[in-house]
Structure 1
Amino acid sequence: MNTIYNKSSKSASNNTIKQLSTSEFSKWDCYVKNHPQGSFFHLSGWKEVISKSFNHDCYFLYVEIDGKISGVLPLVEVKSKLFGHALISTPFCVYGGAIADTPELVRQLEQQACQLAEKLSVDYLELRYQEKQESSLLLKQAHSTFGFALAEDNEKILASIKKKQRAVIRHSLKNELSFSLEQGKSNLADFYQLLSTSYRNLGTPIFSKNYFDNLVDVFGDNIDIAVIKNKDNQLSSAVMNFYFNEQVLPYYGGGNDSARGLKSADYMYYQVMCNASEKGYRWYDFGRSKNDSGPYKYKKNWGMEPKSLYYYYHLVNATELPNLSPNNPKYKLFIQLWQKLPLKVSQLVGPFLSKFLG
Structure 2
Amino acid sequence: MNDLVIEELSNESDIAAWNAYVEQSAQATFFHRAEWRDVIKQSFGHNSYYLQAKQSGQIVGVLPLGHVASWLFGNALISVPFCVYGGVVADNSAIQRALLDKAVELAKQLQVDYLELRNQQAITIEGWQEKSLYVTFCKTISDNDEENLKAIPRKQRAMVRKGIKSELTTTVEHSVENFFQAYSTSVRNLGTPVFPKKYFKVLLEAFTNDADVVTINDKHGNLVASVLSFYFKNQVLPYYGGGTDLARQVAGNDYMYWQLMCHAVEKGKHVFDFGRSKQDTGAYSFKKNWGFSAEPLSYQYYLVKAKALPNVSPTNPKYQLFIKLWQKLPLAVSQLLGPMIAKNLG
Give 1:220 deviation, angstroms. Answer: 0.5
Name the residue aligned to 2:107.
117
Matches within 5 A, 1:173-192: 173-182=164-173, 184-185=174-175, 188-192=176-180
Aligned match of 1:29: 19
Q: Secondary structure, in 3 states, of the residue corresponding to 2:248?
A: helix
Letter in 2 for 1:121: Q
Q: Which runs of 4+ in 1 moved over 3 A?
A: none
* Structure-2 separation of matches of 1:207 and 1:52: 13
User: Hey, what's the Cα distance between the residues in 1 that align with 2:146 and 2:94?
Assistant: 46
Read off the aligned partner of 2:114 and give its amino acid letter.
Y
Instruction: Tell me the equivalent position of 2:119.
Output: 129
Amino acid at match of 1:143: Y
The alignment status of 1:49 with 2:39, answered yes or no, reads yes
Amino acid at match of 1:352: M
Match of 2:157 in 1: 166
Deviation at 1:161, TM superposition (A): 1.4
Contact 1:153 1:278 in 2 (8 A): no
Q: TM-score, normalised by structure 1?
A: 0.94
Give CA deviations for 1:276-317 in whole Å, capped at 9, x if unaligned: 112211110000000111111110111110011010000111
What pairs up with 1:264-275 in 2 under 5 angstroms?
264-275=252-263
Contact 2:122–2:300 (CA under 8 A) maintained in structure 1: no
Q: Which residue in the other structure is 1:241 paired with?
A: 229
State whether structure 2 residue 316 is matched by structure 1 residue 325: no
Match of 1:4 in 2: none
1:222 equivalent in alignment to 2:213: no
Query: 2:268 and 2:177 mapped to 1: Cα distance?
Result: 28
Give the Cα separation in 1 of the matches to 2:162 and 2:44. 41
CA distance in structure 2 between the aligned counterparts of 1:256 and 1:126, rounded to whole angstroms: 34
Residue 329 of structure 2 corresponds to residue 341 of structure 1: yes
Counterpart position of 1:8: none
Where does residue 63 of structure 1 map in the other structure? 53
Identity of aligned residues (%): 49
Q: How far apart are 1:221 and its partner, in Å?
A: 1.2
Work out whether 1:20 is the aligned partner of 2:9: yes
Selected match of 2:272 from 260, 284, 288: 284
Give the Cα separation in 1 of the matches to 2:258 and 2:138: 13
**CA-to-partner distance for each residue in 1:186-216, whole Å, 9 max, x for gaps?**
xx10100111111111111111111111111
In 2, Cα distance between equivalents of 1:94 and 1:13: 34
Task: Answer whether contact 1:71 1:98 (CA < 8 A) is retained.
Answer: yes
Match of 1:220, SS? coil
* Change over 3 Å in CA distance of 1:180–1:113 after alignment to 2: same
User: What CA RMSD, in Å, does the superposition of the two structures yield over aligned residues?
Assistant: 1.0
Structure-2-length-normalised TM-score: 0.98
Range moving further from structure 2, 130-139 or 143-152? 130-139
Correspondence for 1:152: 143
Of residues 228, 233, 238, the one that matches 1:250 is 238
Deviations 1:19-74 (CA, angstroms, capped at 9, x unpaired): 01222000000000100011110000000100111110100000000000000000
The answer on 1:88 being equivalent to 2:88 is no
Between the aligned partners of 1:247 and 1:232, the Cα distance in structure 2 is 33
Structure 2 residue aligned with 1:7: none
The aligned amino acid for 2:145 is N
User: How many aligned positions are there?
Assistant: 344
Q: 2:67–2:77: 8 Å Cα contact kept in structure 1?
A: yes
Residue 163 of structure 1 and its aligned partner are, at CA, apart by: 2.1
Is residue 114–residue 301 contact of structure 2 (8 Å, CA) maintained in 1?
A: yes
Mapped partners of 1:116, 1:163: distance in 2: 51
| Unaligned segments of structure 1, at least 5 residues | 1-11
Quote the residue 1:313 is aligned against.
301
Gaps of 5+ in 2: none
In structure 2, what is the Cα distance between the partners aligned to 1:342 and 1:169?
A: 30
CA displacement at 1:13 relative to structure 2? 4.8
Structure 1 match to 2:248: 260
1:254-296 alpha-carbon deviations (Å, 9 max, x no partner): 1111111211111010111011112211110000000111111
> Which residue does 1:3 correspond to in 2?
none
